[in-house]
Amino acid sequence: MNQIAEVLPNLAPFESLALSVAGLTLSRGDLCLISDLDLRLSGGDAVFLMGANGSGKTTFLHALAGLVRPDQGTIMLGDRPLDLEASEWIGWLGHVDGLKPNETVRETLRFWAGLQGERKPPIMAVLKALDIGHLIDRPTGRLSRGQQRRVAFARVAVANRPLWLLDEPAGPLDQRGRDRLAELVAWHRDRGGIVIAATHQILDWPGAETLELSR
């Protein structure tokens, strides 16, 4: 049973999305990591990026986020280039959770929701669905590593952006945390969102495809 879908039934779906990567080549210094990669995704899709360390998973996510300029190729979201100017479309979660240790969970999520102009963000509903509602007024620096990661997922959710780019999202989570993450991803995909996750772990996300990177 998806708790998040139950507590957040009324959020509007995203407009029809299409992510297109064509002829993408990425390098680090003189080392070519990815060559002539093509990928097409639409709303509701999810992809696991897998491969050995150094295969280019994080670099690929950075390119999608507009943080790395490709050597060749294009990245399009709909009919516009997906770069820093399109950052309002992207929910980013890297190895670092993006939390300020002296801010409470409530303050953190209000800030991220405010970036999208959300007047009544579903902060408590998301936290309850992630089993951390009782932490809302605790400074993030006093949370465990797994709790911080769940707050980071809540941060991405309340920012309400259609394309999620996640780097090792389940790293510090126990099984219950991975279950909550799977529910969050399913809820996002049901709304027409797209999720791309670099991971070494096999995660239970029904219907997700796998893109194996190697060099």
Give the gyration radius of the chain's Cα atoms: 17
pLDDT at 136: 96
Query: What amino acid occupies position 25?
Result: T
**Average of per-residue pLDDT values in the chain:** 89
pLDDT digits (tens, 9 = 90+) for 57-109: 999 999 998 888 999 999 998 888 877 666 788 999 998 998 999 999 999 99
Q: What is the pLDDT of residues 169-203, one digit of tens each?
A: 998 999 999 999 999 999 999 999 999 999 988 89
- The pLDDT of 103-120, averaged and rounded, is 83
Task: Name the burial class of residue 80, with classes exposed (0-12), middle (13-18) and buried (19+) by CB atoms within 10 angstroms of its CB.
Answer: exposed
**Average pLDDT of span 157-161:** 89
Q: Note the CATH number of domain 3-7+43-54+88-206.
A: 3.40.50.300
Predicted pLDDT at 129: 87
pTM score of the predicted model: 0.92
Q: What is the spatial distance between Cα 80 and Cα 133, in angstroms, rounded to a whole number? A: 38
Q: Which residue has the higher pLDDT, 7 or 110?
A: 110
Please tell me the predicted confidence (pLDDT) of residue 82. 78
Mean pLDDT of 162-169: 95
Higher pLDDT residue, 6 or 184?
Answer: 184
Residue-level pLDDT at 113? 86
3-state secondary structure of 215: coil
Q: Give the model's pLDDT for residue 44.
A: 96
Cα separation, 61 vs 142, whole angstroms: 29
